[in-house]
């Protein structure tokens, strides 16, 4: 298994531009999570999905952020328009359902820089 | 609400000495507890978990953690630290709630092991 795959690994964009981050979870995992990591705020849960349905989006900072999961193998996190304060590392993670495993598998992250 | 506190931003130890990274948690009901490690420019990697059973949990790379319900703690330990253990360590908790897979992470503790 290739693990959780995120793309791109690095993204540099200008303020006001649209940014789309992508994630492919591990096959068979029912849960998908988007986290943001910054020095100031640590790891913040933005949103998570169960079977492609958003369950909790209370961590999404504002309307500029949106996330979708059109199918079990793909999710996107979009920022439009982007701002310098959105600069962070964005992680995607997935987890299976069941009583034997309650941890996440994380992707390598996308480092976003908004200038 | 669930939360995790890692009271030390940094822990410095000499190679060969014991390493302890502290974690306390707050959750309604029984907790599921996890430790993750993050190396520079990488995603988080699972180290170990406590679900139920023995209070001493053994994990990857010689790490172990002790669950203490009365003190609501889950400290990470390694008897003899290696320079390669230098990394950022996160404690995480989730409550045993049906269909709630949301993990809350601590702020992280940077471990530096000097040769």
Q: How far apart are CA A55 and CA B84, in angstroms?
A: 38
Residue A42 C-alpha, separation from nearest chain B C-alpha, in angstroms = 5
- Give the residue from B87, B86, B93, B90 showing the smallest Cα distance to B107: B90
A2-12: buried (b, 16+ CB within 10 Å) or exposed (e) per residue? eebebeeeebe
Distances (CA, A) of B29 to B6, B66, B95: 20, 18, 7
pLDDT digits (tens, 9 = 90+) for B10-19: 999 999 999 9
Which of B49, B102, B105 is facing A48, going by the closest CB pair?
B102
Mean pLDDT score, A15-21 = 97
Both tokens assigned to A90: 């964005």
Averaged over A54-59, what is the pLDDT? 92
Residues near B102 by Cβ (< 8 Å), separated by ≥ 6? A33, A45, A48, A56, B2, B94
| H and E: helices and strands count for chain B | 0, 12
Q: Measured between CB atoms, does A40 come within 8 Å of chain B? A: no
How buried is residue B52: exposed, middle or buried, by Cβ count under 10 Å (0-12/13-18/19+)? Answer: exposed
Touching check for A50 and chain B: CB below 8 Å?
A: yes
Question: CA torsion sign, B66 to B55 to B90 to B88?
Answer: positive
B46–A105: do the CB atoms touch at under 8 Å? yes
Show residues of chain A in contact with B35, CB under 8 Å: none
Cα–Cα distances in angstroms (integers) from residue A82 to residues A49, A67, A114, in the given order: 23, 14, 7
pLDDT at A96: 86
The answer to whether the peptide bond before residue B109 is cis (omega within 30 degrees of 0) is no
Residue A38, token pair as written in the block: 């910054």
Residue of B50, B103, B104, B107 for testing the chain A interface, max A β-carbons within 10 Å = B103
Q: Is the pLDDT of residue A43 over 60?
A: yes
Distance CA B2, CA B112 (A): 28
- pLDDT greater than 70 at residue A9: yes
Establish if A109 touches chain B: CB-CB under 8 angstroms.
yes
| Nearest Cα residue to B83 out of B50, B41, B114 | B114
C-alpha span between B54 and B57 (Å, rounded): 7
Question: From the list B42, B46, B99, which residue is nearest A103 (CB)?
Answer: B46
pLDDT, averaged per 10 consecutive residues of chain B (115 residues), comes to 92 98 92 92 90 90 95 97 96 78 90 97
């Amino acid at each position: 298994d290739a693990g959780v795959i995120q793309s791109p690994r690095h993204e540099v964009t200008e303020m006001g531009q649209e940014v789309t981050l992508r994630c492919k979870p591990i096959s068979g995992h029912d849960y998908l999570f988007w986290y943001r990591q910054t020095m100031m705020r640590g790891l913040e849960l933005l949103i998570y999905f169960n079977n492609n349905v958003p369950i909790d989006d209370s961590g999404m900072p504002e309307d500029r952020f949106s996330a979708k999961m059109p199918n079990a193998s793909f999710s996107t996190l979009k920022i439009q328009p982007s701002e310098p304060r959105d600069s962070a590392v964005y992680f995607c993670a997935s987890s299976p359902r069941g009583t034997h495993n309650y941890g996440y598998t994380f992707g390598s992250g996308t480092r976003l820089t908004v200038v | 609400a669930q939360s995790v506190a890692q009271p030390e931003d940094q822990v410095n130890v000499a190679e060969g000495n014991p390493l302890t990274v502290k974690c306390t948690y707050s959750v309604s009901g029984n907790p599921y507890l996890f430790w993750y490690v993050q190396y520079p420019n990488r995603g988080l990697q699972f180290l170990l978990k406590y679900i139920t059973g023995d209070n001493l949990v053994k994990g990857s790379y010689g790490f172990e953690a002790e669950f203490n319900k009365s003190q609501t703690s889950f400290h990470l330990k390694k008897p003899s630290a290696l320079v390669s253990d230098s990394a950022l360590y996160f404690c995480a908790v989730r409550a045993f709630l049906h269909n709630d897979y949301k993990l809350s992470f601590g702020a992280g503790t940077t471990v530096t092991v000097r040769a």
